[in-house]
Amino acid sequence: MTRWVAGGLAAVILAAAAVAGLAWWRSTSRTPLVEALALAPADTQRYSWTDWAGVRRELDAGVGADSSADAVEDFLSSAYDADLAATSALVTDAGLVHRRTGVSPATAAWELFTQAEDGAVIMLGLPDDLSADDLSERLLDAGYTAPEGDDRVWDGTELLGDFEWPTDLGFVALDADRHVLVGSDSADYLRSVLDGDDEPDEDVTAAAEALDEPLSAAVYSGDWACAELAMSQADDTDEAQGEELVAQAGRVDPLRSFALAAQPGGDVLAAMTFADHEQARRNADTRSRLASGAAPGQGGAFTDRFALGEVRADGRVLTMELDPVDGSYVLSDLATGPLLFATC
């Protein structure tokens, strides 16, 4: 990674690096989501993905760099109504960020928000036509302090002081090779992320690969899913009902990762990884039963929210197609616990 420098030869070098990075990004066989996961801290437990370029296409949104802050907010409202903005950390004050920096859901290629025990970061695929030099000037005008020496972190403490700026963009840095902006509410945590180069957990990657190219997605490690989506998060009555339904459904094996994603065209896809194919095949049956009945903890029944489509066990990965009922918010409702068919 290279710190930003405004003007002259440095800007030319950075621009060339950005072009090379974009060429690398597009030439890889991995999906944009899987590529973004590879940039995240290795100890991440929760990944929240939004393919903003895809959402703009899906909604035929006419927003871009020249859009007003109000137009950006209107676009986000439409994305929310379509259940395509639930995973974004940029919904609040996106118009303000757009006006000051030119980076927002109206221009970014994608967004990945990651959460680990030690901190959180937001990663944004930058617009193709936004140069490092131009963005450097915008950051300075917005109130950031440029990094000095070998530091790569722009300090936005002044912005955070007026309580208008998103805390996740309190400190930012650029991965110039990949044309990605990285932000966090902690400068020290951001520096530790910039210095890391570990690949994500293979179970998380396997679940993300099964999603193909989703418009928005929540991807969890097994530990996170088993804690945050567990029926133990429900009240005593719902927890007892859930235990009874699991007992009736049959054997349920522990998840190694879990993902839920909104697909182009409106469908939702769930993906889970297990220890082996035998477990995935067995859970295709048991979790299909759980996803077709009552939804304790969520209220009502899953059939009120979606029709269960094809369920497949491919190797150790299980996928379930969910066809949302008109007016339902499947991703928003089911990305948080307790969720019966994601129980451990």
pLDDT of residue 245: 96
Share of the chain above pLDDT 90, in %: 77
Above 90 in pLDDT, residue 112? yes
CA distances from 127 to 77, 104, 136, 144, 218 (A): 21, 9, 14, 20, 23
Q: What is the residue extent of each domain of the chain?
A: 8-195, 202-342
| Tens-place pLDDT, residues 231-266 | 888 999 999 999 999 999 999 999 999 999 999 999
pLDDT of residue 203: 96
CA distance 233 to 228: 7
CA distance 80 to 91: 9
Per-residue pLDDT averaged across 284-301, rounded? Answer: 95
CA distance 301 to 303: 5
In contact, 266 and 307? CB cutoff 8 Å:
no
- Calculate helix-pair angle for 277-290, 236-249, nearest 10 degrees: 120
| Tens-place pLDDT, residues 94-105 | 999 999 999 999
Residue scoring higher pLDDT (26 or 145): 145
Q: pTM for this one?
A: 0.89
pLDDT of residue 20: 40
Average pLDDT value for the chain? 89
